[in-house]
Amino acid sequence: MTSIAPVSRTELSQRRKTLRRQRRTRFFQASWRNVAIATLAIGAVWVATLPEWVIRKPEQVTIRGNRFISEQTIRSLLPITYPQSLLKVQPHSIADALKAKAPIAEATVDRQLIPPSLTVRVQERIPIAHTISKASQPGLLDETGMWISQESYKALNPNLKLPSLKIVGSPEQYRSDWVNFYQTIRQSPVTVLEANWEDPANLILKTELGAVQFGVYSSKFPMQLKVLDQMRRLPNRVNSDQILSIDLRNPNSPTVQMNATKTPVKLGTP
């Protein structure tokens, strides 16, 4: 059995001194840590109240990236009460509020202490089409299919000019297909002036060649547009003023409805 060596009184005294010294060290370390935290807190409060780090007027907010909505209008939408300490400004809250109040897809807010100012960078939702529907008020669409109230947009931009592209029908009819549809007609040489989605079974486009029936919108739509582009020489073969419509539901056998006889004329593959 292992024996335990006796500890002398001198060793016990030395150990007690060591423990007391360690406790004092920990006490002072904790005290200094608390003092440092308190000093930082007081300093933060003091810095936050410095008059040099306060924005006092909207002109200290710089707006970048806007095209259709004026700087003054965007400033008026910012949830900032002047004067405002820069350190109390919450960039994310301001950006979220701005996107909720205006047709803005993205917004970022940066603070600058010297000189005290804010920079707000925005990416607007650019209207590329205007909409008409029996079920809803007139609206605007951006490239992603986001619907924007025409009335609210005009309130922010009284000088708004409606986009030339017109979309007829309930947004529910075309929302899921909008992105692909718009990218396709934008890349097509054929100018599309209007798209009518009122009948889900027959998409009708008003183009530079006249009204064109496409049937149900599907993956063959790009090919149908290509056939339509090949029919540009059609006005040289018939009087374009007499064309009622072009039927491309079967792109392999396009049909032209004439005004005079109202008799469909099959052209065959262009």
* Overall pTM surpassing 0.75 (yes/no): no
Q: Are 214 and 202 in contact (CB under 8 A)?
A: yes
Mean pLDDT for the chain overall = 85
- Closest by CA to 229, choosing from 202, 191, 179, is 191
N-term to C-term CA, the chain? 108
- CATH code of the domain made up of 129-266: 3.40.50.11690
Tell me where in the chain the CATH 3.10.20.310 domain(s) lie. Answer: 52-124
Q: What is the pLDDT of residues 237-264, one digit of tens each?
A: 666 667 788 999 999 999 888 776 555 5
- Closest by CA to 128, choosing from 172, 167, 173, 174, is 167
What is the C-alpha separation between 138 and 260, in angstroms, rounded? 36
Backbone angles phi, psi at 99, to 5 degrees: -65, -30
Query: pLDDT higher for 245 or 42?
Result: 245
Q: How confident is the model at residue 70 (pLDDT cuts 50, 70, 90)?
A: very high
Question: Amino acid letter at 99?
Answer: K
- CATH code of the domain made up of 52-124: 3.10.20.310
Q: What is the pLDDT of residues 94-146, one digit of tens each?
A: 999 999 999 999 999 999 988 899 999 999 999 999 999 988 899 999 999 99
Task: Show the CA angle centred on residue 32, arms to residues 31 and 35, nearest 5°.
Answer: 90
Q: Calculate the alpha carbon distances from 219 to 148, 215, 225 in Å.
A: 27, 12, 11
- Taking the CA atoms of the chain, what radius of gyration do you get in angstroms? 35
